[in-house]
Amino acid sequence: MRLDKFLSDMGVGSRSEVKKNIRWGKVLVAGKAVRDPGFQVETGDEILYKKQPVRYEAMQYYMLHKPNGVISASEDKKQTTVVDLIRDQAGNVRKDLFPVGRLDKDTEGLLIITNDGALAHQLLAPKHHIDKVYYAQVSGEITEADQKAFEEGIVFDEERKAMPAGLRILKTGLPMTPALRDRFLDVVLPIRGRDIAEEAAQEEARRSLTIPDSYSEVEITIQEGKFHQVKKMVQALGNGKRVLYLRRISMGEITLDPALAPGEYRLLTEEELAKLKGYVKEQ
């Protein structure tokens, strides 16, 4: 395999960046500087890139900052998927990748993308109780009683009881902004009319809704991952509480890189990957 292709495939930089650093003598193979990007290497060769070892990984693991409006799927004929965001050096979609778990379409934040099916399956197994932490903006004021309800395991979907969860209040009693008021209406009563008359009726119904005059910022920690679970747990608190914005910030000890903007991604570091694999070994 060409040296420049090997290095770019391992995610250390773009093909052009890698070639430049090779020509500048910043790449060592078996202890010797190699300045030819086309130099042939084997997967077991000892390679240093800018003084850092680069090892061959048949499987790759990405941290993605999932943006709003993208679905957590490998492929879809109509909608953009999280896998569509990750491209190879030629700009092509990586068809071998898939997300570990899912985030709702309108939820942002940390999502692991990989081609390691075995590890993904193990991580998603019910026996692996990994803390998942979310930052949320919630309509209404969150109280100590709400925190206790989460700690005891709140009932949602009428009879389904959640495992004990964490609800940490960051700020509460914040004045509701116009944007969050609009978001509240979209969450509680979205306009989905099939014709003008139906849409007009829905608009009228929206005008009669009582909108909370404040909102809260919280961190929610759960170990499960049922459909719309965080949103349903918050709604089960009552008093007009709804999730208005949701972003996953960590999974176990792996935290969303603050340098990643929504839609951006990077390979997991060796330390992060070791933690990810450690969750499976601990069980």
DSSP annotation of 83 = G
Nearest of 166, 136, 132 to residue 250 by alpha carbon: 132
Q: Name the catalytic one among 9, 45, 84, 104.
A: 104
- Enter the tokens of residue 248: 């996953």
Q: How far is CA 252 from the centre of its chain?
A: 13
DSSP E strand stretches across the chain? 27-29, 32-33, 47-49, 52-53, 61-66, 98-99, 108-114, 132-139, 155-156, 160-161, 166-175, 214-222, 243-251, 254-255, 265-267
What backbone phi and psi angles, to 5 degrees, belong to 53? -65, 140
| 104 has catalytic annotation | yes
CA atoms within 13 A on the CB side of 83: 18
List 254's β-bridge partners, or say none.
251
Catalytic residues: 104
